[in-house]
């Protein structure tokens, strides 16, 4: 190919020149091959084939363009043997983006060791309603939190020359109707609530975007030129490519191509040479649209595959000890202590001789969804195994699966403390795949009746009753929460989950997770959610902004989580300088054990003349404090981050007014110190 060749260390200019040259040489048929997955049969997906290997798409030997090799996540690489992390929602509860980047780093290495170069697992859909079946795959209900976590995972993964995919673009948060539901929303809701986290990932350099199955304002997201062409590729100047979601992500040739969908995955159904040729002949699409797509694909793939690798990726990296250690740390940092009366937790090893563990979920490997995010691992440590191993012979551990009420009562009476492990499995929530008979949205946010009965039974016999909840989003607890002294949200906690749980229960690790969503007392306080409707309106408010707006008290607020120590917040201050709001606060550990606190910063808009939420999360910082230690924590908020989108001027605007600034350990009003700053 003369002086134009593919080689390591190519500059962006050289890549552009090469792409232009190749496009000028390619036939239409050759170009179309750069727009499709390499032909996996959907049946194979559901025939045990899915997730066993990386999937090839695009690429050309003739022109020296590598294919992209897709694998999925987000709780690790889905190919067997990989490290299974706690689900994204759990990681969102860690509020630790440094850790999330390290998780991305591990995932990036494992993708490469499996032979992949594209990770489809940066899932950042907004949790509008906790019933969403795939809630566990995302990081929470808040745009800012989602953006920071998506960006951190992207950074980590892409370090290893793996293209990250942010998905599902956008407004994808109902499972059962995902292939057809039309999501309506006004412009401010779209711009301020459902898009900023995607923009954050694009700004971080995220290589690719996966379009969502659902419709937005009447158009399938994969055909949605407003989303893909005007906003993503136009306003945001996204240079990578967009690939479709897998089952029904493209509905017709012209719709996809004019909409700005670059690659049809996982195989050509509508992006077939003949169909594209006909559309061209009929003038329904243009050659320049095809060329633009091919250029995006070639450019992105070459950028990643010609960069020098920071290391060699051998197969023994997959699921190695070092990687499991990161999974353990994630599990430890993500569990949320929701209630702890009379300091029931941590249990003191020296004071108990008999421990009762109750519930079927205590001894099953329960790492989450069995759909496209399912990481197949046989190694995961169950709660029962984790606790038994942790205690060795020091304490007698007695297990009861909870089915026989009589024996439950007897055991609960006999033991010094009782741990009841209840919650959900992949049968209750997850990606809805009819063929696999798995997943779907939750119809009910409370626990199953038999789980509630088990809690009540154990609690009636034992005052030291600790409820451990497993699940991927909010579980309502009003029926039973006053009957037990301690509640710990343990999530689907990955391969090392049982070990992390034991360490928290016995105080080797101080819990530090904070809820990335609001738990309501009454599900009726949440936005309308219905999996049977063909059309739904997504409003401007959900989660804590909705509770603030309606003045409702949740069961547990967004950002809430207890610790085995106590923290105090003092001396809030704020300064506006260099286009930034810089806030500081002193945080003191006033208890007797070391611990981590998540310092949260919210901006309030009391003076606004337009409709705005009472407050919005705009910064956070996780700090470690020894007993009696005080740290002055500084959090910066770029002023551009407090703008609102004016649909009339079609631009982001900063209101000139006095703003409220709140800092504290949760979003609850009573937990927050407050001050003001002036942008007049």
CB of 95 to ligand BGC, least distance (A): 24
What are the tokens at 115?
A: 């032979």
Here's the x/- map for ligand BGC, 371-400, by CB under 6 A: it reads as: -x----------------------------
Q: Are 335 and 469 in contact (CB under 8 A)?
A: no
Cβ nearer to ligand BGC, comparing 131 with 372: 372
Residue 433 CB, nearest approach to ligand BGC (Å): 7
Residue 12 sits at φ, ψ, to 5 deg, of -60, -35
Range 97-116, binding ligand BGC (CB under 6 A)? none
471: CB partners within 8 A, 6+ apart? 136, 423, 424, 428, 429, 489, 491, 492
How many residues at the interface with ligand BGC, by CB under 6 A? 7
Q: Taking the complex as a whole, how short is the minimal distance between the CB of residue 441 and ligand BGC, in angstroms? A: 14
With CB under 6 A as the contact rule, which of the stretches 145-153, 243-251, 350-358, 583-591 interacts with ligand BGC? 243-251
Residues 18, 144, 238, 246: which binds ligand BGC (CB under 6 A)? 246
Out of 75, 167, 323, 339, the only residue in the binding site for ligand BGC (CB under 6 A) is 167
Binding window for ligand BGC (CB under 6 A); candidates: 82-90, 241-249, 484-492, 632-640: 241-249
Site stretch for ligand BGC (CB under 6 A), options 239-247, 362-370, 511-519, 641-649: 239-247
Closer CB to ligand BGC, residue 134 or residue 622? 134
The contacts of residue 7 (CB under 8 Å, 6+ apart) are 306
- Smallest Cα–Cα separation from 290: which of 240, 254, 251, 245? 254
Look-up: residue for tokens 């499991």?
Answer: 324
Please identify which residue in the block is written with the tokens 């719709």.
255
Q: What is the DSSP string of 102-124?
A: HHHHHHHHHHHHTT--EEEEEE-
**C-beta of 219: minimal distance to ligand BGC in Å?**
18
Q: Which two tokens stand for residue 249?
A: 């992500």
CA–CA distance, 168 with 350 (Å, rounded to integer):
50
CA 609, CA 601: separation in Å to the nearest integer? 22
Draw the binding track, 462-501, toward ligand BGC (x: CB under 6 A; -: no contact).
----------------------------------------
Q: How many CB atoms lie within 10 A of CB 167?
A: 27
Is-contact 486 362, C-beta < 8 A? no
How far is residue 498 from each of residues 107, 196, 366, 502, 503, measured CA to CA in Å?
21, 35, 10, 6, 9
For residue 85, which phi and psi values (nearest 5 degrees)? -85, 165
Rounded to the nearest 5 degrees, what angle is found at the Cα of 104, between the Cα atoms of 167 and 129? 40
Smallest separation (angstroms) from ligand BGC to the CB of 245: 5
Measured torsion, CA atoms of residues 546, 550, 551, 554, in degrees rounded to the nearest 10: -50
CB of 167 to ligand BGC, least distance (A): 6
Query: Between β-strands 630-638 and 580-589, what pairing exists: parallel, antiparallel or unpaired?
Result: antiparallel
**Nearer CB in complex with ligand BGC: 245/264:** 245
d(CA 267, CA 244): 10
- Cβ distance to ligand BGC smaller for residue 83 or 372: 372
Minimal distance, residue 94 CB to ligand BGC, in Å: 22
What letter does residue 381 receive in the DSSP assignment? P
Site string for ligand BGC, 34-73 (x = CB under 6 A): --------------------------------------x-
Minimum separation from the CB atom of position 422 to ligand BGC (A): 28
148 or 245, CB closer to ligand BGC? Answer: 245
Among 120, 383, 471, 554, binds ligand BGC (CB under 6 A): 120
Nearer of residues 74 and 383 to ligand BGC, judged by Cβ: 74
- Stretch 557-616 residues interacting with ligand BGC (CB under 6 A): none
Q: Which is nearer to ligand BGC, 135 or 672 (CB)?
A: 135
Residue 247 or 289: which CB sits closer to ligand BGC? 247
Q: Return all residues near 236 (Cβ < 8 A) that are at least 6 apart.
A: 199, 202, 203
Nearer residue to ligand BGC within complex by CB, 169 or 506: 169
Terminal CA-to-CA distance of the chain, rounded, Å? 60
The interface region with ligand BGC, picked from 242-250, 289-297, 592-600, 609-617 by CB under 6 A, is 242-250
Which of the stretches 144-152, 240-248, 435-443, 566-574 binds ligand BGC when contact is defined by CB under 6 A?
Answer: 240-248
Q: Which is nearer to ligand BGC, 120 or 497 (CB)?
A: 120
Distances (CA, A) of 409 to 143, 356, 363, 458, 489: 45, 11, 20, 6, 24
Helices (H), 171-248: 187-189, 196-203, 225
369 binds ligand BGC (CB under 6 A): no
Is residue 175 involved in binding ligand BGC (CB under 6 A)?
no
Residue nearest to ligand BGC (CB): 372
CB of residue 50 vs ligand BGC: minimum separation in angstroms? Answer: 7
Under a CB-based contact definition with an 8 Å cutoff, are residues 143 and 197 in contact?
Answer: yes
Which residue in the list 105, 142, 245, 441 is annotated as catalytic?
245
Is 404 designated active site? no
Which two tokens mark 538?
A: 């997504």
**Contacts (CB under 6 A) with ligand BGC, residues 300-319:** none
Least Å distance, CB 560 to ligand BGC, is 29
Q: Which two tokens stand for residue 330?
A: 């994630």
> Does residue 245 belong to the site contacting ligand BGC (CB under 6 A)?
yes
247 binds ligand BGC (CB under 6 A): yes
Residues carrying an active site annotation: 245
Provide the binding-site residues for ligand BGC, judged by CB under 6 A: 72, 120, 167, 245-247, 372
């Amino acid at each position: 190919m003369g002086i134009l060749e593919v080689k390591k260390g190519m500059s962006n200019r050289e890549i552009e020149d090469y792409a232009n040259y190749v496009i000028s040489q390619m036939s239409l048929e050759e170009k179309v091959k750069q727009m499709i997955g390499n032909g996996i049969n959907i049946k194979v997906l559901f025939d045990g084939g899915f997730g066993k290997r990386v999937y090839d798409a695009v690429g050309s030997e003739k022109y020296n363009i590598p294919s992209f090799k897709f694998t999925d996540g987000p709780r690790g690489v889905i190919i067997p043997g990989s490290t299974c992390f706690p689900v994204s929602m759990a990681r969102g509860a860690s509020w630790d983006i440094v850790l999330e980047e390290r998780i991305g780093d591990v995932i990036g290495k494992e993708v490469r060791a499996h032979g992949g170069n594209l990770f489809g697992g940066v899932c950042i859909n907004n949790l509008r309603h906790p019933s969403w079946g795939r809630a566990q795959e995302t990081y929470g209900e808040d745009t800012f939190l989602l953006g920071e976590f998506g960006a951190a995972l992207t950074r980590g993964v892409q370090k290893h020359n793996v293209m990250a995919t942010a998905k599902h673009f956008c407004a994808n948060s109902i499972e059962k109707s995902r292939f057809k539901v039309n999501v309506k929303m006004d412009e401010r809701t779209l711009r301020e609530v459902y898009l900023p986290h995607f923009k954050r990932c694009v700004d971080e350099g995220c290589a690719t975007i996966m379009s969502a199955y659902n419709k937005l304002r009447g158009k399938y997201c994969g055909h949605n030129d407003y989303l893909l062409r005007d906003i993503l590729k136009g306003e945001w100047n996204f240079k990578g490519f967009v690939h479709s979601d897998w089952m029904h992500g493209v509905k017709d040739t012209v719709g996809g191509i004019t909409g700005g969908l670059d690659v049809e995955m996982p195989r050509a159904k509508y992006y077939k040479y003949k169909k594209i040729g006909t559309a061209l002949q009929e003038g329904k699409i243009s050659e320049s649209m095809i060329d633009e797509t091919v250029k995006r694909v070639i450019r992105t793939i070459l950028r990643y595959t010609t960069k020098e690798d920071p290391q060699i990726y051998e197969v023994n990296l997959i699921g190695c000890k070092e990687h499991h250690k990161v999974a353990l740390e994630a599990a430890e940092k993500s569990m949320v202590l929701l209630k702890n009366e009379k300091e029931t937790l941590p249990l003191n090893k020296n004071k108990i001789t008999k421990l009762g563990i109750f519930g079927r979920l205590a001894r099953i490997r329960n790492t989450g969804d069995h759909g496209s995010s399912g990481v197949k691992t046989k190694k995961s440590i169950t709660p029962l195994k984790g606790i038994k191993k942790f205690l060795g012979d020091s304490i007698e551990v007695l297990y009861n699966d909870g089915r026989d009420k009589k024996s439950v009562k007897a055991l609960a009476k006999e033991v010094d403390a009782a741990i009841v492990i209840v919650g959900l499995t992949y049968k209750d929530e997850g990606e809805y795949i009819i063929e696999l008979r798995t997943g779907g949205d939750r119809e009910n946010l409370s626990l199953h009746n038999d789980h509630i009965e088990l809690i009540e039974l154990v609690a009636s016999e034992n005052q030291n009753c600790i409820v451990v909840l497993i699940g991927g989003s909010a579980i309502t607890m009003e029926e039973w929460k006053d009957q037990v002294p301690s509640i710990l949200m343990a999530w689907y906690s990955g391969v090392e989950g049982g070990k992390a749980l034991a360490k928290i229960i016995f105080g080797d690790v101080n819990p530090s997770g904070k809820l990335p969503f609001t738990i309501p007392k009454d599900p009726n306080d949440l936005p309308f959610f219905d999996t049977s409707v063909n059309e739904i309106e997504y409003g401007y408010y959900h989660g804590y902004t909705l509770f603030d707006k309606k003045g409702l008290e949740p069961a547990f607020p967004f950002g809430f989580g207890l610790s085995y120590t106590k923290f105090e917040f003092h001396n809030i201050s704020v300064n506006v300088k260099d286009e930034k709001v810089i806030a500081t606060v002193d945080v003191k550990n006033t208890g007797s054990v070391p611990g981590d606190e998540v310092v949260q910063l919210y901006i309030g808009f009391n003076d606004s003349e337009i409709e705005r939420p009472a407050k919005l999360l705009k910064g956070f910082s996780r700090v470690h404090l020894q007993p009696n230690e005080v740290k002055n924590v500084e959090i910066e908020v770029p002023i551009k981050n407090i703008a609102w989108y004016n649909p009339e001027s079609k631009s982001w605007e900063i209101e000139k007014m006095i703003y409220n600034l709140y800092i504290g350990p949760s979003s609850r009003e009573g937990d927050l110190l407050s001050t003001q700053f002036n942008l007049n």
